[in-house]
Structure 1
């Protein structure tokens, strides 16, 4: 899931530059047609549309001149015993002219989206709707804009005669919003097809925004993300008749444990990405929040300053690991003492921290032998990618070409994406999408009336053309 930082206030005035490049009317129409086609496909788990979208995109690459032998539709199963979760990935390889100058660049994205109900939305979420300067529809920002941007950029570059000096490899997966098996396969059994890339550019990360009044907010390049991990608290009890209450009540024990988790704050920490982010923010943020940023950077042991940052709704999750209760289940009858009470705890763990260590920490926080803490997954710790100068510089050049005066910041996402298994496998990944939204009030991924500014769709295609010409053309 792409998460934009909604607090980056640009401090520089826009210089006078040549007009930014744009798409021709013909290419703009082709871009919109592709976007409409794939947004109208409800690529939700269980609806069986992701394989159809995969084949549609494969056909577009082949029609644009990419050799069929280098376009691979990869069916796979996400783990459901019922067969409802069959999906597919797309791998496309654009081979370098002559001898490659370096290992391939991997371009990443996911084709699946989160479910959306018609009755919960103003427009039909699976019919692209153009209204009030926006495209409405599920996936417009998470992340079929990125799928369209990457695909149309590659088609345009090939048509223009661009000759990459290193292979460019596309991996679009079909289950990022659920099990992430496509990314796991990409980082392991499909690595030969991907050419063992040197680094990845993820369209499911980064991006930019403006405030509602048009004030530039900035663009982020995502170089780290927190580890997604789930845990269950379980309390079992012999139960009994509700007319005979006892002190050992499973629901009360669970509630007390949740109170402790709610009150606990994990230790603040910085890495290369977040230090660079807060260093840039501290230069422009005023008031108590800016003072806290400057104090924490000066003294990373200043936990009070980190707490002030973490308490800000816009900055929450950036200073430490955070865990939160998301689901509850208890009891079996209105007139019986509960024999079972469980709670689901979702943690977003700071990169590099072992999820098993968080399990042990949760057990220590609860400090109740009747409350058992177990893990719900086997994810390993996410690893931050280094601030690679060539990628950051190319992304900055693409951004400032299209959006003069916008500042570029590194970003650690509090959410998770397909980048994690690649980073764990030693392939650094960078979120470098170029679409822009109105923030902080209007980021609607996974929510009601998801939408993208109409002009951002074409701009994102141009952004990817600039970025790839830079990184693959040298």
Structure 2
């Protein structure tokens, strides 16, 4: 057969297959759910996570979930959704949790090219706040539960959808579910839709699939410098804003020590060998010698990898002064840190104080930072994830890694529930605009992920 004819035939078959997938009932329902929840502003001041939870609950009940198995639990103005997919108990095993969060980070419409709370698209991407973080995961999980229920699938143990309402702010709903609900605490482990996933190069080549097994500790301080102030016509040398500015510049210049674990070294070795080039070479060098300062500095300069090699602290907010014609009586900087596992919050505060070098500066730790352990990998989970990933990208490496950011997973790990992030998304990390302007997800990634969770769930909960 002529090569060009064979190529054309393959492309035609692929086009027909892709079209059938997009037009399937499962695809249409998942897209409907995705569009509906994306177009609701669930940022922290809007109070809309309860309506979203009510909508999702209605979809699950309509698909066959018993009403008593679908609960909405409010907490401090936020909503959570807890839905149990009943198994037959033949495995004699504890439930598996399936995690996601319904809230999003704020988005200012005037800053965006597209409306942030309307699902729009071009030839490549879906756009809107939450398209990736984390309404992608919520829609894919909910759509999968509906699909499995309609297909009559009965797992050998219970599955529990656990969607939080304020992951992006106080995580009060997450803490409630992880620490205060015995039915959730008894779970054997959790699978998180808000982390992990596949990495693609700019031209769409799959590099690896990452399984999140650890997270850095999220901690925020407010650093305040105070001063008696006075009239602006009579400047004084000890201006609170100037002193705070010196502290900010000192934090900017500071480099926390390089840190590593066996997991991060393995991650860099495998990823570096895949991507090649100058960056890949630095990764491999770091993996074999984490004290290679040049390699560590190159990784620090890459936004996608800086957090994997050390603790990071960055000034995110400033507040100062009370009148344009008065000397400032106080100036405050908010400093957000992502702390490497095994390093205590107290140690980082002590290091920040040393860096600032101002004994009069007040340090106030906000909230209650959560230090969580690494979740050691389970063979059955990795086998199930591998089956789903390799159905799309045969032979692709699965790599465990530490998240630089923070997810609900930290609290479930702290509660004694091993948790792994295994999102179904594949995309270029440089196109990841979660929390940023014009957040997006590739349209192809949305449709390619439709079987991800059902493959994993069936593999983990179908009797031999």
Give your verdict on TM over 0.5. yes
The CA distance in 1 between the partners of 2:135 and 2:350, in whole Å, is 39
Q: CA distance change for structure 1 residues 457 and 301 in 2, over 3 Å: closer, same or farther?
A: closer
Q: Which residue matches 1:460?
A: 449
The CA distance in 1 between the partners of 2:110 and 2:286, in whole Å, is 46
The CA distance in 2 between the partners of 1:123 and 1:290, in whole Å, is 35
Q: Which residue matches 1:330?
A: 320
CA contact (8 A) 2:265 2:286 kept: no
CA contact (8 A) 2:265 2:288 kept: no
Displacement of 1:303 in angstroms is: 4.3
Q: Which has the higher helix share?
A: 2
Displacement of 1:432 in angstroms is: 0.6
Displacement of 1:74 in angstroms is: 0.8
TM-score (norm 1): 0.88
Q: Which residue matches 2:377?
A: 387
CA contact (8 A) 2:27 2:450 kept: no
More divergent stretch after superposition (171-180 vs 323-332): 323-332
Displacement of 1:41 in angstroms is: 1.9
CA contact (8 A) 2:89 2:158 kept: no
CA contact (8 A) 1:352 1:384 kept: no
The CA distance in 2 between the partners of 1:171 and 1:184, in whole Å, is 12
1:411 has 2:401 as partner:
yes
Displacement of 1:137 in angstroms is: 2.1
Tell me, what secondary structure is at the counterpart of 1:92?
strand
1:447 has 2:436 as partner:
yes
Tell me, what secondary structure is at the counterpart of 1:61?
helix
CA contact (8 A) 1:317 1:414 kept: yes
More divergent stretch after superposition (289-298 vs 341-350): 289-298
Tell me, what secondary structure is at the counterpart of 2:143?
helix
1:366 alignment partner, one of 340, 356, 359:
356
The CA distance in 1 between the partners of 2:102 and 2:459, in whole Å, is 26
Q: Which residue matches 2:460?
A: 471
Q: Which residue matches 1:282?
A: 272
Q: Which residue matches 1:25?
A: 24
CA contact (8 A) 2:40 2:48 kept: yes
CA contact (8 A) 2:30 2:142 kept: no
Segments of structure 2 that go 5 or more residues without pairing to the other structure are: 1-16
Q: CA distance change for structure 1 residues 38 and 380 in 2, over 3 Å: closer, same or farther?
A: closer
Q: CA distance change for structure 1 residues 183 and 262 in 2, over 3 Å: closer, same or farther?
A: same
More divergent stretch after superposition (37-46 vs 241-250): 241-250
Tell me, what secondary structure is at the counterpart of 2:347?
helix
CA contact (8 A) 1:402 1:463 kept: no
Displacement of 1:22 in angstroms is: 4.9
Q: Can you list the C-alpha shifts for 1:36-88, whole angstroms capped at 9, x where unaligned?
A: 222222222232322111111111111211221111111111xxxxxxxx121
The CA distance in 1 between the partners of 2:370 and 2:25, in whole Å, is 46
Displacement of 1:215 in angstroms is: 2.4
Displacement of 1:89 in angstroms is: 0.5
- The higher-RCO structure (CA 8 Å, 6+ apart) is 1
Q: Which residue matches 1:96?
A: 87
> How many residue pairs end up in the alignment?
447
CA contact (8 A) 1:234 1:342 kept: yes
CA contact (8 A) 2:109 2:116 kept: yes
More divergent stretch after superposition (253-262 vs 343-352): 253-262
The CA distance in 1 between the partners of 2:373 and 2:330, in whole Å, is 37
Displacement of 1:195 in angstroms is: 5.8
2:173 alignment partner, one of 173, 182, 189:
182
The CA distance in 1 between the partners of 2:240 and 2:144, in whole Å, is 57
RMSD over aligned CA atoms reads 2.3
Displacement of 1:30 in angstroms is: 1.7
The CA distance in 1 between the partners of 2:284 and 2:203, in whole Å, is 28
Q: CA distance change for structure 1 residues 122 and 197 in 2, over 3 Å: closer, same or farther?
A: same
The CA distance in 2 between the partners of 1:143 and 1:262, in whole Å, is 30
2:255 alignment partner, one of 242, 247, 265:
265
CA contact (8 A) 1:148 1:461 kept: no
CA contact (8 A) 1:31 1:458 kept: no
Q: Which residue matches 1:82?
A: none
CA contact (8 A) 2:273 2:281 kept: no
1:123 alignment partner, one of 114, 125, 134:
114
Tell me, what secondary structure is at the counterpart of 1:362?
helix
2:129 alignment partner, one of 135, 138, 145:
138
2:424 alignment partner, one of 408, 419, 434:
434
CA contact (8 A) 1:105 1:169 kept: yes
1:50 has 2:41 as partner:
no
The CA distance in 2 between the partners of 1:293 and 1:402, in whole Å, is 26
CA contact (8 A) 1:100 1:167 kept: no
More divergent stretch after superposition (112-121 vs 199-208): 112-121
1:66 has 2:65 as partner:
yes
CA contact (8 A) 1:93 1:194 kept: no
Displacement of 1:427 in angstroms is: 0.9
Tell me, what secondary structure is at the counterpart of 2:156?
coil
Displacement of 1:23 in angstroms is: 7.0
CA contact (8 A) 1:108 1:202 kept: yes
More divergent stretch after superposition (426-435 vs 211-220): 211-220
Tell me, what secondary structure is at the counterpart of 1:284?
helix
TM-score (norm 2): 0.90
Segments of structure 1 that go 5 or more residues without pairing to the other structure are: 1-18, 78-85
The CA distance in 2 between the partners of 1:117 and 1:257, in whole Å, is 30
Q: Which residue matches 1:7?
A: none
